[in-house]
Amino acid sequence: MTQTGSPQRAGLDRASLERALEVACRAADAARAETTPRFRSVEVETKADGSPVTEADREAERAIREILREAYPDHAILGEEGGREGDDRARLCWVIDPIDGTIAFSRGLPLYSTLISLVEDGQTVAGLIDLPGLDERYTATLGGGCLRNGKEVRVSQARDLQRSLISHGDPFCFERAGQRAFFDRLAREVPFLRGYTDAFGHSLVVGGGVDAMVDLDLNEWDAAATRLLVREAGGQCLVREFPGGKVGLVLGSPGLVDELAGWFE
């Protein structure tokens, strides 16, 4: 398991990180222009892996890629819908999820998000979670703190699990990860347990409203931005690797993350 708490030094300087975040924000704006008009008016398809996808997912990723390619033609790009492009050996790679929470988007729930991150040698150095339906955007650069719509946010520092608000991902994701016992223990022992799924739940942790979250069976594009945002908001993010390239996150208040980490089978 990997724990991220205090920032490590990036190869990019401060000006380069700030420029990267500005480009990411422009890309998120372009994604909003594709998703917002299609919200509550788009058909849903099913991909080979059984997950849902819509025209909005594809068009938003296309728009994001166009902006990133123009600004950084030498960087690699990894996206949920379009896969990887660019040099596999590239030290800098953009990781994108055009719509995280496609189920919510397709059902008319405004809890979906767009995730964009710049990863340098495996470490996220700039990233954002954009929530168009709520008009909220969480942004961070390595060592630069975390902002929500331009104002600093901090993760909860709660330590008492019995008094804390804890969130979780979908129960079937715990089963896929071989951690159904973890979910059952959460349901049994945590009084204030809420199912705020996907990056919407992550954003609630980053903003301090939810004290900690356990989210399993994730892909790299689901986790890359969150790893940085939580850390820059003063929290801790434990990364647990699973077979098949999947990861799980326990994120939030450092004291609660340490306690919950001991619940893995």
Contacts 24+ apart (CB under 8 A), 194-197: 194/165, 194/166, 194/167, 194/168, 195/167, 195/168, 195/169, 195/170, 196/167, 197/101, 197/167, 197/168, 197/169, 197/170
Q: Are residues 30 and 126 in the same domain?
A: yes
Q: Which tens digits make up the pLDDT trace of 203-257?
A: 999 999 999 999 999 999 999 999 999 999 999 999 999 999 999 999 999 999 9
Which residue among 122, 150, 178 closes a domain? 150
pLDDT of residue 44: 85
pTM: 0.94
Which residue among 116, 150, 184 closes a domain? 150
The order of strands in the sheet holding 236-241 is 2-4, 236-241, 247-252, 212-218, 165-168, 192-194
- Separation CA 205–CA 11 (nearest Å): 28
Closest CA to 124 of 205, 221, 189, 249: 221
Residue 136 has pLDDT above 90, yes or no: yes
Q: What are phi and psi of 93, to 5 degrees?
A: -140, 130
Q: Are residues 184 and 205 in the same domain?
A: yes
Q: Measure Cα distances from 107 to 44, 115, 118, 139 in Å.
A: 10, 20, 30, 27
Q: Is 77 inside any structural domain?
A: yes
CB neighbourhood size of 192 (10 A): 13
Q: Are residues 44 and 94 in the same domain?
A: yes
Core vs surface per residue 143-177: b (16+ CB within 10 A) or e? ebebbbeeeebebbebeebeebbbbbbbeebbeeb
Q: Are residues 135 and 185 in the same domain?
A: no
Q: Measure Cα distances from 221 to 11, 42, 99, 162 in Å.
A: 22, 23, 10, 32
Domain that holds residue 224: 161-261
Q: CATH number, domain at 115?
A: 3.30.540.10
What pLDDT band is residue 9 in, cutting at 50, 70 and 90?
Answer: low
Q: Which tens digits make up the pLDDT trace of 186-198?
A: 999 999 999 999 9
For range 38-47, the mean pLDDT? 86
